[in-house]
Structure 1
Amino acid sequence: MTMPHTAEWSAATTRGTYRAEVEDLRDALADAARDGRWSRVFELIASAPHWISANDTRLGGPSGYTPLHQAAWHGADGEVVTRLLGLGAWRTLRTSSGERAVDIAAARGHARLLDRLRPVAHHPLPPATVAAVERRLHALMQEDSHGLVAKHRLKLPPVEILTELADPKLWVPVPGMYGGFKIRLEDGALIVESWSRVVGGSGRRHRITPDATTLLAEGFV
């Protein structure tokens, strides 16, 4: 499921996408974070790092809360927040209502957490650029997944995440595709590779800017 040294976006939003045992792990993680049982959160992530992460939400859940959002809501100890960040939790990730963890902490009056939760952009982009390339990225992913994004009701990755990654690369596996998308931010543009491991010559590489989606290469997988 994972590609070494590359951050991964879990696009699934509905139950039935993964095996039952994986869904059980996601439920257990969401329950523990909701209840503020942080030792259990860390225990679960350590037990199955290839299947659950600090950025996972409840499958089928409406809120879009990750453990970091729950830590902000609870006003968890700063050490908990630091540990979640060390496990790769994204500060820029937003809930279904558009809130980042820092926004939740501010609204709840947990001022002592704000400095830890405030996003740090290693690769800053103007908001208009982020919005434009994200629209093009999502359109390309819809096209190159051959209907699988719609079939599985996948949530496609926000480009904002890439701006905070020290190494701005993201792997997005697509159920049923036996492959997926590797996305990297490079000089203000996105380089997107897609492929399926069971279809020879399926590889396609595109460059996305706010103004254009350009095919760079194809047939390399």
Structure 2
Amino acid sequence: MAEVLTGIAVATESLTLCIKAVVVLKRFYVTVKEAREDLNKILNLVERTRNRIELMKITLIELRKSTDSGIAAGFITACDGLNRTLEELVQEASAIANGQSRFGIARRLRWSMSHSKVEELVCKLAEQEKEVTNSYVMLNSLTSLRTQQELQKLTRSSDERSEITIAFCQEPEERLSDVSTLRNSSEGPASGVRIWLGHTITNCHSPEYLQLRNELSEAVYWGDWEVVLNKLEEGFRTFGELWGNAPRMKERAQYHNLSMWTPLHQAAYHHAPVYVVERLLEYGAFKTLRTRNSEFSYPNLTPLELAQELEVFHLYHILSPVLKRPLPPDTLQRIEYNFHRLIRSEVGQRVDAEKLYLPVLEALTELDGEAVWFPIKFGYPGAGYLFQLLGRELQVKSVNIQGKASNVLYRIMDDDIYETDQIFNFAGDLKQEKEINEEDTAEALLFKLDL
């Protein structure tokens, strides 16, 4: 029993060190071009080892009542060497902490570890990963806790979660521009990236776009749900946009009258059936968006708060937000401030001139790492921002903002904005990845631009 408890404690310590090493390396990975290949190796090894140790810890917890005194000895020995290597790795990686590339500064820091030192660490980690894996397999074999098939399945799963992927990328045949997979209106929209509808006034849109948006707003206002769902499908098929959050648009002179009620707010107001809310969610509706004004107790209401005001009991459950990426409110607020600062620095005075409704990042806490597209419908074709919340940072791809065919990547944190040339994630952290380029947005997605 004591041996198993010691093994659990050692596993916990090793997991903490693995996480610390990954955090340190991820933060500075994008600032050191010269060491990209070496860091890839280390990150994969550390993450894979961490997944193995997690499996081992679970196994030891299941066996914590065991009386076999030597059951965890091999694992403890393997972890001791691993921990020493990880501590050395964290110290070396922390040495480049002052080499961060900040927004507006092109400075890059050379990787402080020599190539031979990196190779030495990679070899050590690879050997220690094998030892941890062998200990895990041996322990399960001796205790008959899991079958060989179960072990292979768990190992494959841990390997998949430790693979590094590039953000905002996917196979060409699966790109968002492939609208041939659209389903008919009775089935709802095909898979598509969520849209942040930041254009609230009628400038920069074609008459066809404005007419369809107005027809949708009228149907939502009167609670004509059959028409609403048809207009949502028509909007997606025609313009490639999910309008689940579409507010009523106004002319510039009427901007101050914008209520920012979304179809989900109107569904609560009209006591809509549950199936209507389910369909709105399929079209990208966010549950955390707030109104700008209302005649109720407070001006800034979520759909759930509105349902509570009106005692629409049957919608309480479905309108309750499920936060998949919870962040401290002050951290999220600072990240949002920096994101808005970035947009204003690139788009300039047109943010205010066009009355852009900048993204509210609270909505992203409802998503499990999915990307959101914010089209900028003036200037260069296909301009906009693709952004996703991962951990405590916002990853942003600025598309055609600074020039035609320009793509700039940023990592936005609560302290500052970091420009980079590459953003990566672990495969287990990202459920869906999208890439939007000029061809996708300007042609296949059929954004209507008045240039």
- Normalising to structure 2: TM-score of the pair? 0.46
1:198-218: CA deviation from partner (whole Å, max 9, x where unpaired) = 925732222111111112239
CA contact (8 A) 2:346 2:402 kept: no
Q: 1:81 maps to what in 2?
A: 277
Q: CA deviation at 1:83?
A: 1.7
**1:51 Cα deviation from its structure 2 partner:** 4.7
AA matched with 1:12: H
2:346/2:401 contact within 8 Å kept: no
Give the 3-state SS of the residue equivalent to 1:83 in structure 2.
helix
Residues 120-143 of structure 1 deviation map (CA, whole Å, 9 limit, x = unaligned): 111111111111111111110111
Percent identical pairs in the alignment equals 30
Cα deviation, residue 41, structure 1: 0.1
What does residue range 1-221 of structure 1 map to in structure 2 within 5 Å?
Answer: 4=176, 5-49=192-236, 50-51=240-241, 53-60=243-250, 62-96=258-292, 97-177=299-379, 178=381, 179-196=383-400, 199=403, 202-217=406-421
How far 1:17 moved relative to its partner? 2.5
| Aligned residue in 1 for 2:155 | none
- Give me the whole-angstrom Cα distance separating, in 1, the residues matched to 2:301 and 2:233: 27
Deviation per CA, 1:83-121: give whole Å up to 9, x if none.
211222111111113211101100111122111001111
Q: Does the residue aligned with 1:43 lie in a helix, a strand or coil? A: helix
1:78 Cα deviation after fit: 1.4
Shift in CA distance, 22/200, structure 1 to aligned 2, threshold 3 Å: closer
Q: Deviations over 1:129-180 (max 9, x none)?
A: 1111111111101111243323311101100111112343111111223311
Q: For residue 280 of structure 2, what is the amino acid of its counterpart?
A: L
| CA distance in structure 2 between the aligned counterparts of 1:52 and 1:88, rounded to whole angstroms | 6
Following TM superposition, the consecutive aligned residue runs of length 4 or more in structure 1 with deviations greater than 3 angstroms are none
Q: Using the alignment, how far apart are the partners of 1:181 and 1:140 within structure 2?
A: 11
Distance 1:51 1:211, change over 3 A: closer
Greater helix content = 2
Counterpart CA distance in 1 for 2:258 and 2:355 is 14
Which of the two has higher C-alpha Rg? 2
Gaps of 5+ in 1: none
Once the two structures are overlaid, the 10-residue window that deviates more, 162-171 or 119-128, is 162-171
Letter in 1 for 2:330: A
Higher strand share: 1
CA contact (8 A) 2:195 2:243 kept: no
Query: Using the alignment, how far apart are the partners of 1:201 and 1:113 within structure 2?
Result: 45
Residue 162 of structure 1 aligns to a residue whose secondary structure is helix
Q: 1: CA distance between counterparts of 2:268 and 2:282?
A: 16
Question: Cα RMSD between the aligned structures?
Answer: 2.1
Determine helix, strand or coil for the equivalent of 2:340: helix
The more displaced of 166-175 and 200-209 is 200-209
SS in 2 for 1:113: helix
Distance in 2 (alpha carbons) for counterparts of 1:98 and 1:187: 27
